[in-house]
């Protein structure tokens, strides 16, 4: 069942995470960032990607009636249903892999990979897909 309040809250959450990442992206050229700031950036990125995957699960459930038990299955179902292009799938895969690296290899220094993703603003895909998916739900469930 569709929950428009949750959708709106998710959009607001994603927007806040993207603003935080954009601030970092613009700031890092001017000054060095400390370890606490790195942790905020890593956490914001993790939350942003997780919210994209959760929204995708929600779309699959509400639009296609596909019950997805884990975030790991989401990408395959999106591709199977042609809900994302191959290129978007590849971009999502990069975001997911980077999130996994940060989440599970937290003792390693992965921040340079995240900085590269920031420079390319790879995370902007999340906002675009979110808007597309919510529009898709709105148009099919009037």
In this prediction, residue 126 carries a pLDDT of 86
Cα-only R_g, the chain:
16
Give the whole-angstrom CA distance, residue 64 versus residue 78: 10
Domain count, the chain: 1
CA distance 120 to 116: 6
Look up the CATH number of the domain holding residue 124. Answer: 1.20.120.580
Question: How much is the pLDDT for 51?
Answer: 92
Query: Do 60 and 66 meet the contact criterion of CB atoms below 8 Å apart?
Result: yes
Helix (H, G, I), strand (E, B) or coil at 105: coil
Q: 27, 18 in Cβ contact below 8 A?
A: no
Q: Which of 41-50, 90-99, 125-134 has the lowest mean pLDDT?
A: 125-134
Domain housing 126: 4-140
pTM of the model: 0.82
**pLDDT confidence of residue 142:** 46
């Amino acid at each position: 069942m569709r929950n428009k309040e949750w959708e709106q809250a998710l959009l607001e959450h994603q927007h806040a995470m993207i603003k935080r990442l954009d601030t970092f992206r613009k700031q890092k050229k001017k000054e060095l960032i400390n370890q606490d700031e790195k942790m905020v950036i890593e956490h914001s990125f993790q939350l942003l990607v997780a919210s994209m995957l959760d929204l995708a699960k929600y779309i699959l459930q509400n639009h296609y009636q596909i019950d997805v038990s884990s975030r790991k299955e989401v990408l395959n179902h999106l591709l199977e249903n042609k809900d994302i292009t191959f290129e978007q799938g590849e971009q999502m895969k990069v975001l997911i892999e980077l999130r996994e690296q940060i989440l599970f290899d937290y003792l390693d220094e992965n921040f340079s990979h995240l900085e590269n993703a920031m420079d390319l603003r790879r995370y902007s895909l999340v906002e675009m897909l979110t808007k597309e998916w919510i529009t898709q739900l709105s148009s099919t469930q009037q």
